[in-house]
Amino acid sequence: MNKRPLSFQNLMTALLAAAFASGAISAHAFGTEEDQAQTPLYSEFKKLDKNSDGKLTRQESVRDHDIGPNFDKADTDKNDALSAKEYSEFKSGMQQARVESFLDDSSVTAKVKAELLKDDGMKALAIKVQTHHGQVILSGFVDTEAQARRAVEIASSVRGVLSVKNSLVVKG
C-alpha cells in the first residue's frame, strides 16, 4: 500500500465528508422513537396511559381537557384508542391554535389602542383595552358620554374586532 501524506485539500475534503456524514446520521436519528419518547407530550401521554399498553382509551383520556371532549377527532384511525402519535399530533394542534388565538387577540388589542391614540379626543384618556377571541372590552374613565361612544366606534372599526363591550365610566 502506498502511503502518501495527505495534501491540505484532500485533508479538508475528508474532514468535510466526515462532518456531513455525521450530520446526516444525527439528522436521521433526531426523529427516532427514542427521541420522541423524550418530548413533553409523550410524557403527558405516558401519565395518562394508566395500564401502560401504549394507547389511551376514552376513559384514560378524560383527564386531559383537550383530548377528553375531542376524543373522536383525535382518534384519526377510528380504532377507539389513541396512539402516542395521534395524541401528540392532536394535542400540539390544539396548543398551536391557542397560541395563534392569543397572538390574534394581542394584535387586535394593539390596533385598537393605536387607533384610540390617533384620535385627538382620546389621546389623554386612560382607556384599558382587552381582547378575547375577537371580543374587545373597553374599561377605564372618560370625561363625557360622547367620548365613550367614540371609543366604542373606534374599536368597532378595527379589523378583527367581532364585538365591543363598553365598560367605560363617565367621570363626574
Q: 34-86: per-residue pLDDT in tens?
A: 555 567 888 899 999 999 999 999 999 999 999 999 999 999 999 999 999 99
* For residue 147, pLDDT beyond 70: yes
Residue 152 lies inside a defined structural domain of this protein: yes
* For residue 23, pLDDT beyond 90: no
**Residues 91 and 133 reside in one and the same domain:** no
| Least-confidence region, from 23-27, 95-99, 141-145 | 23-27
pLDDT of residue 13: 53
Residue 75 lies inside a defined structural domain of this protein: yes
Residue 12 lies inside a defined structural domain of this protein: no
**Residues 44 and 92 reside in one and the same domain:** yes
> Which is more confidently placed, 104 or 137?
137
Contact 41, 87 (CB under 8 A): yes
Q: Which domain holds residue 120?
A: 102-170
Average pLDDT, the chain: 81
Query: Which pLDDT band holds residue 172 (cuts at 50, 70, 90)?
Result: confident
Taking the CA atoms of residue 122, residue 124, residue 128 and residue 132 in that order, the dihedral angle to the nearest 10 degrees is 40
Average pLDDT over residues 89-109: 86
Alpha-carbon gap, residue 152 to 168, rounded angstroms: 9
CATH number of the domain that residue 58 is part of:
1.10.238.10
pLDDT of residue 129: 95
Alpha-carbon gap, residue 166 to 113, rounded angstroms: 14
Domain count along the chain: 2
pLDDT of residue 27: 39
- How many CB atoms are closer than 10 A to CB 155? 26
pLDDT of residue 38: 60
* Helix/strand/coil percentages in the chain, nearest 5: 55, 15, 30
**Residues 89 and 106 reside in one and the same domain:** no
**Residues 106 and 161 reside in one and the same domain:** yes
Q: pTM for the full model?
A: 0.53
